[in-house]
Amino acid sequence: MKQAIEKIRRKFARWLTQQRTLRRRKLHVVRLEDRRLPDATFGAALGALTLDGFDGGDSLNVEFDSSANLFHFSLTDGHWDSTCSGDPGFQLSPDGRLLTFSASSLQELRIDATSSASGGLTPLSVTDSTRGIAVGQLTILGAGSVVLDSAANDFDHLAISAERLDLFDSDDVSIQSLDIHHDFTLTAAAAITDTAGTTILVGGHAQIVGSTIVLGDDVADSIHFGSLSFHATGAVSISEADDMVLSGSSTADSLTLYSGGSITDDGTADLHINELAHFDADAIELDDTYSFGSLTASSRSRGISISESDDMSVAEITSAAGIHLSSAGEIHLTADSYVLAGHHTEIMLTASTNITIGDGATIQAEGGNVLMDAGPHGDLIVSGAIDVSDLESGEIGGTVHLLGARVALFDGAIIDASGDTGGGTVLIGGDYQGANVAIHNAARSFVGSEATISADAITTDNGGRVIVWSDNSTEFFGMLSARGGKDGHGGFAEVSGKDLLAFSGSVDLTGELDGGTLLLDPKNITIADTATPDVRTANDAFNENPGSSVTFDADTITTVTNNGTAVVLQASNDITINESII
């Protein structure tokens, strides 16, 4: 009996071993790589083709055959779900990787790659071929790298979210929405615009190229770039919701940039605008390489600092805080242009060559400071108004420094540093007797007969301080006042050239308590019944030698002294009096 049972057990063991061997052989017959598991699905409805259900790490290439009006969609690794191919517009290749679709009525191509990034996998990448893509609406969601750079591409509207995007359009293109985590490049052969209420978010650098570019012109738009560059043959207008950073090379015919925060650069910006450039932000700080046809800027709270690598033509600059404009060439304010800063702030204009403030131009910083410096070799020419007066109760006038190798106030120039309770300070060509080492002196200074300089105390207290100086020759034919107010003294004025002085202007340093002092201290002084006439014009104000013998008209001196002003004649060489001063 035992032997029979053992025999049955041996037979069963042999049968079980055979079954296991057969099973292993069957598993080896069906190899994993030969199984066709769907990696993506597709479907068309209402003029839109949707591709979705992608696996991570795959790549989709899109091609449009315009001659046959067919789209070709090929997957590098995955397979299309054949159960979706019932629509007569679809065809699948035998290996399941190439999908062909008839695009006779297609209005939107929608590629939804959001599933491809699940589980930490690399999101779907999307590319095109040289044939390009032509469709009214292109929508791509959740992709990795998207490179659609064919010269044949033609889209009307874009709505794309991806890790990176590089796209070319052969015509106009409008952005509905963008969410690009890293860098973004958009190039269009014509205009680039956006739709009302668009959202554009670019975490990295955005480079935008088109014939014209208008982004963010609707109040409902929300736009942010990590950094920005652009190229356009026409106008560029871009508004960002927060801080804007310029980076790399940019060109346009005209430019308008608006930021809800600041506009700055990153050290690499190289911006060239043929015509007008306008900046509008809370703060503007641009000190890389810039060239504008003309410049306007507005800062709402934190000031403006702009440096230009070429000549700067200023049209309109306004800021609630300070303003600093600098040029490697010249700075020009043309007629009716202006630079306006906030109360008790500072305006600085510095140039390597010349600064010109044209007739009708205005520079104003109420109760603040204005420094204009054309450098040790440049000319500073003023025909407009510089106003640092402050007439608010209890305020004193501000400070004006006008510096350069040669400084001229021509007819029409108005310098006002008056204040309610005290006059301010005006320095033209240098400080007192040219002795302040912190201020470089002019070689020549000129004040025309219709130019006025004021540093008056309007209501109370003392007049201000006015210096007109040069190391060589000074010619003064204008009107100067530093009057004291109630219970105040007249101010102080010095008009002199270290070597030569032509003085035939008017000075008022009167005060309720007593008059101020006028110091005339050239090398030689001659008092006579005639004086050097006002013969200087814009062409010859900086004549090398205004006269070998400098003469003051005794009547001019008498007029000054008769209003209570003390006149001090202090020559470093000779004083000759040929007519009485009464």
- Predicted local distance difference test score (pLDDT) of residue 209: 98
pLDDT (0 to 100) of residue 115:
83
Q: Find tokens 């071993």 and name the residue.
A: 17
pLDDT at 142 over 60: yes
Give the chain's largest Cα–Cα span: 163
Token readout for 13 is: 């063991």
Q: What percent of the chain has pLDDT over 90?
A: 68
Report the pLDDT averaged over residues 125-137: 93
Beta-strand pair 70-75/98-102 = antiparallel
pLDDT at 534 over 80: no
Residue 119: the pLDDT is 66
Say if residues 72 and 49 touch (Cβ distance below 8 Å). no
Q: Would you say residue 467 has pLDDT above 60?
A: yes
Interatomic CA distance for residues 341 and 264, integer angstroms: 19
What pLDDT is attached to residue 550?
A: 53
pLDDT of residue 22: 42
What would the mean pLDDT of 37-51 be, rounded to a whole number?
75
pLDDT of residue 133: 92
Token pair, residue 253, equals 């015919």
Distances in Å between the alpha carbon of 562 and those of 463, 507, 517?
18, 11, 12
- As a whole number of angstroms, the distance between CA 476 and CA 557 comes to 13
- Classify the phi-psi angles of 360: left when phi > 0, otherwise alpha if psi is within -120 to 50, otherwise beta: left
pLDDT digits over 145-165, tens only?
Answer: 999 999 999 999 999 999 999
Find the mean pLDDT for residues 294-303.
94
Q: What value does the mean pLDDT take over residues 228-245? A: 97
Average pLDDT, integer, range 507-536: 73
- DSSP conformation letters of 42-76: EEEETTEEEEE-PPTT-EEEEEEETTTTEEEEEES
Sign of the Cα torsion 327, 330, 336, 340 reads positive
pLDDT at 28: 35
pLDDT at 193 over 90: yes
pLDDT confidence of residue 24: 42
Does pLDDT of 30 surpass 80? no
Q: Which is more confident, 79 or 201?
A: 201
Stronger pLDDT, 78 or 287, i.e. the higher one = 287
- Cα 363 to its chain centre, rounded Å, is 21
26 to 12, 18, 29, 36, 487: CA distances (angstroms): 21, 12, 5, 18, 115
Please give the average per-residue pLDDT across 439-451, as a whole number: 96
Per-residue model confidence (pLDDT) at position 542: 58
pLDDT of residue 554: 62
Instruction: Tell whether the model's pLDDT for residue 44 goes beyond 80.
Output: no
Confidence label for 78 from pLDDT (cuts 50, 70 and 90):
confident
DSSP code for 442:
P
Q: Looking at the predicted structure, is the pLDDT value of residue 567 above 90?
A: no
- In the chain, helix, strand, coil percent, each to 5? 10, 50, 40
CA triple 319-322-326, angle to 5 deg: 100
> Hunting for tokens 């204005």 — which residue is that?
370
Q: What is the mean pLDDT of the chain?
A: 87
Q: What angle do CA 362, 422, 558 make, to 5 degrees?
A: 90
CA–CA separation, 57 and 44 (whole Å): 25
Cα separation of 340 and 321, whole Å? 9
pLDDT confidence of residue 90:
84
Contact 239, 228 (CB under 8 A): no
Q: Which of 26-35, 43-52, 88-97, 479-488 has the highest mean pLDDT?
A: 479-488
Pairing verdict, β 379-382 and 406-409? parallel
Statement: residue 529 has pLDDT above 90: no
pLDDT-derived band at 535 (thresholds 50, 70, 90) equals: very low
Most confident of 33-37, 389-393, 541-545: 389-393
The pLDDT tens digits of the residues spanning 331-345 come to: 999 888 999 999 999
Task: Specify the 3-state DSSP secondary structure of 119.
Answer: helix
pLDDT band at residue 87 using 50, 70 and 90 as cut-offs: low
Q: Note the pLDDT tens digit of each residue in 370-405.
A: 999 999 999 999 999 999 999 999 999 999 999 999
Band of residue 533 on the pLDDT scale cut at 50, 70, 90: very low
**pLDDT score recorded for residue 434:** 93
